[in-house]
């Protein structure tokens, strides 16, 4: 079976280089609504067994927009395990602010996941995010065991980097080695052994957007 992982559309806080995290949220940009429609049109013809989304509006609304553009008429099921990283005290802060206030944590969060300690930030660590993501993926593999089964899961940049790195078996220090994910990007992971192992089929695909991405599309 395959899981089509999508990062939500770009938001006002993405544009402003501001951390949203697991509890902050901001509206999708008008451009994002067009991008979401393009992704949905790109996916027309794919027979999904289910559509799942983080409970945060930016992810849920992205999933709903894709569903509408595909004319799939599937309910979008909220799954808490797809929520963005809880970044604690960094949520709502601009990146440059957080870098001044929490330089070590910021550096480790982006570049040294094995050293990231969110205790001071009252946040969530990588292993917890990876664990909930694996729980979701393994459940999907059991519920939809046929090789041709496909589900769509809309989540967030930091969470997906951790979750998918974990599913691919990367050691914690290398969990982000494939780089960041762009807004409204598509990554497909496949398992043929009931969720024991996964392999990448598509990674961070955005060609269907038909435009050159800016730096803030990948923050």
> What pLDDT digit, counting tens, does each position of 2-57 carry?
999 999 999 999 999 999 999 999 999 999 999 999 999 999 999 999 999 999 99
Mean pLDDT of 123-148: 97
**Total count of domains within the chain:** 1
pLDDT value, residue 150? 98
Q: Is the pLDDT of residue 219 over 80?
A: no
With respect to residue 24, please indicate whether it lies within any of the assigned structural domains: yes
Which residues span the domain enclosing 73? 1-187
With respect to residue 70, please indicate whether it lies within any of the assigned structural domains: yes
Q: Is the pLDDT of residue 139 over 80?
A: yes
Q: Is the pLDDT of residue 124 over 80?
A: yes
pLDDT category at 74 given cuts 50, 70, 90 is very high
Mean pLDDT of 81-93: 97
Residue with tokens 């005290």: 89
Query: In angstroms, rounded to a whole number, what is the distance separating the alpha carbons of residues 92 and 26?
Result: 10
Residues of the binding site for substrate:
7-14, 58
Tokens, residue 9: 């559309």
Q: What CATH number should be reported for the domain holding residue 18?
A: 3.40.50.1240
With respect to residue 64, please indicate whether it lies within any of the assigned structural domains: yes
pLDDT value, residue 119? 95
Residues of the binding site:
7-14, 58
Q: Which residues pair with 6 in a beta bridge?
A: 154, 186
Tokens, residue 167: 């599913």
The more confidently predicted of residues 216 and 8 is 8
With respect to residue 47, please indicate whether it lies within any of the assigned structural domains: yes
With respect to residue 19, please indicate whether it lies within any of the assigned structural domains: yes
Question: Which residues, 6+ apart, have CB-to-CB distance to 108 below 8 Å?
Answer: 115, 116, 117
pLDDT category at 129 given cuts 50, 70, 90 is very high
With respect to residue 216, please indicate whether it lies within any of the assigned structural domains: no
With respect to residue 203, please indicate whether it lies within any of the assigned structural domains: no
> What pLDDT digit, counting tens, does each position of 140-198 carry?
999 999 999 999 999 999 999 999 999 999 999 999 999 899 999 999 999 999 999 99
Active site residues: 8, 84
CB atoms within 10 A of CB 132: 20
φ/ψ of residue 166, rounded to 5 = -65, -40
Q: Is the pLDDT of residue 215 over 90?
A: no
Q: Is the pLDDT of residue 102 over 80?
A: yes
The more confidently predicted of residues 216 and 45 is 45
With respect to residue 161, please indicate whether it lies within any of the assigned structural domains: yes
Q: Is the pLDDT of residue 216 over 90?
A: no
């Amino acid at each position: 079976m395959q899981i089509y992982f999508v990062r939500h559309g770009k938001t006002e806080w993405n544009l402003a280089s501001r951390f949203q995290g697991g509890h902050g949220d901001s509206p999708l940009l008008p451009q994002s609504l067009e991008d979401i429609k393009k992704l949905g049109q790109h996916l027309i013809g794919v027979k999904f067994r289910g559509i799942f989304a983080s409970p945060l509006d930016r992810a849920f609304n992205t999933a709903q927009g894709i569903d509408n553009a595909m004319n799939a008429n599937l309910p979008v099921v909220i799954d808490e395990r797809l929520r963005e990283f809880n970044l604690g005290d960094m949520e709502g802060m601009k990146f440059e602010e957080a870098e001044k206030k929490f330089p070590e944590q910021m550096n480790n969060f982006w570049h040294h996941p094995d050293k990231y300690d969110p205790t001071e930030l009252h946040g969530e660590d990588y292993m917890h995010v990876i664990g909930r993501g694996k729980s979701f993926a393994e459940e999907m593999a059991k519920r939809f065991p046929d090789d041709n089964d496909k589900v769509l899961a809309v989540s967030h940049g930091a969470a997906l980097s951790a979750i998918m790195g974990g599913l691919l078996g990367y050691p914690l220090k290398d969990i982000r080695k494939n780089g960041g994910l762009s807004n409204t990007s598509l990554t497909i992971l496949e398992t043929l052994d009931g969720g024991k192992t996964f392999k990448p089929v598509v990674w961070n695909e955005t060609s269907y957007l038909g435009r050159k991405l800016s730096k803030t599309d990948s923050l």
